[in-house]
């Protein structure tokens, strides 16, 4: 297992960071550039920005925001949401992002991952997978369009496929657990981590420090991502990292 990373996630809509529950019921959480700078100083290892309002006419605004963030922080960050082409990826990377997350577009056109990995390098391509449990079974299906559309695709098989296509890591979000603070989906995370050899970032459901430890040790996650816990100061990043260190985990920094 690689050194564990702690990654705040910032969902943004029309230039503001927001947070929801199960991909709905959003609340304003602040300015993305200011929050990014604060997280960089607070000890975050990386940041993930997800544009949930991405449309073609917002590309210039989004690129401007990426440039401002890159000027303010010293840690890597990824941007996802509305990425539909190699050209979109190039714009975001040139603006200053270190990585780009691809979800819906990759499901519709898997070759996008391969083309992007060849042109920009696998380390810059993050396959974002939103997965929903199929009833009470140990099966999960892939959702797209911000978690709203269930494709019926098997999430574990898709994870193996994105690795084969060239993705450098997987950002795995449980649609069922998102924003609930009930804990990560350990079964989902473990099933995918055991299927692939690239890093898996666990997302969706963090509510207390123990949840992070569980998804790393039981779910075999390589990185842990959370949003509302950090945004609303319910848990400080360094408090979490100190806890994980005391638990004997090997952290990124």
- Catalytic residue set: 11, 130
* Burial group, residue 157, by CB count within 10 angstroms (0-12, 13-18, 19+): exposed
Would you state the structure tokens that stand for residue 97, as one six-digit string?
């992002």
Q: Which phi and psi angles does 16 have, rounded to 5°?
A: -125, 145
203-231 burial string, b = 16+ CB within 10 Å, else e? bbbbbbbebbbbbbeebbbbbbbbbbbbb
Cβ atoms of 42 and 237 closer than 8 Å: yes
Alpha-carbon gap, residue 119 to 223, rounded angstroms: 25
Alpha-carbon gap, residue 167 to 219, rounded angstroms: 20
Residue 78's alpha-carbon distances to 12, 101, 124, 125, in angstroms, are 13, 7, 8, 9
Q: 36-41 contacts: CB < 8 A, separation 24 or more? A: 36/10, 36/69, 36/72, 36/73, 36/77, 37/72, 37/73, 39/8, 39/73, 39/75, 39/230, 39/237, 40/72, 40/73, 40/74, 40/75
């Amino acid at each position: 297992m690689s050194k564990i990373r702690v990654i705040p996630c910032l969902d943004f809509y029309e230039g503001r960071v927001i947070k929801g529950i199960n991909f709905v019921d959003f609340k304003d959480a602040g300015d993305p550039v200011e929050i990014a700078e604060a997280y960089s100083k607070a000890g975050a290892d990386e940041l993930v920005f997800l544009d949930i309002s991405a449309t073609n006419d917002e590309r210039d605004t989004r690129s401007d925001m990426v440039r401002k963030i890159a000027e303010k922080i010293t840690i890597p960050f990824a941007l996802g949401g509305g990425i539909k082409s190699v050209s979109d990826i190039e714009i975001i990377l040139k603006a200053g992002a270190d990585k780009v997350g691809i979800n819906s577009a990759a499901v519709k056109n898997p070759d996008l991952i391969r083309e992007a990995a060849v042109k920009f390098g696998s380390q810059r391509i993050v396959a974002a997978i939103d997965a929903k449990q199929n009833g009470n079974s140990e099966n999960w299906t892939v959702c797209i369009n911000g978690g709203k559309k269930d494709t019926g695709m098997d999430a574990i098989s898709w994870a193996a496929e994105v690795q084969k296509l060239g993705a450098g890591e997987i950002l795995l979000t449980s649609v069922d657990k998102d924003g609930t603070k009930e804990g990560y989906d350990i079964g989902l995370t473990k099933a995918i981590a055991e299927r692939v050899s690239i890093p898996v970032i666990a997302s969706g459901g963090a509510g207390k420090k123990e949840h992070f430890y569980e998804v790393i040790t039981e779910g075999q996650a390589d990185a842990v991502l959370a949003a509302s816990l950090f945004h609303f100061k319910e848990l400080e990043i360094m408090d979490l990292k100190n806890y994980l260190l005391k638990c004997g985990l090997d952290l990124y920094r």
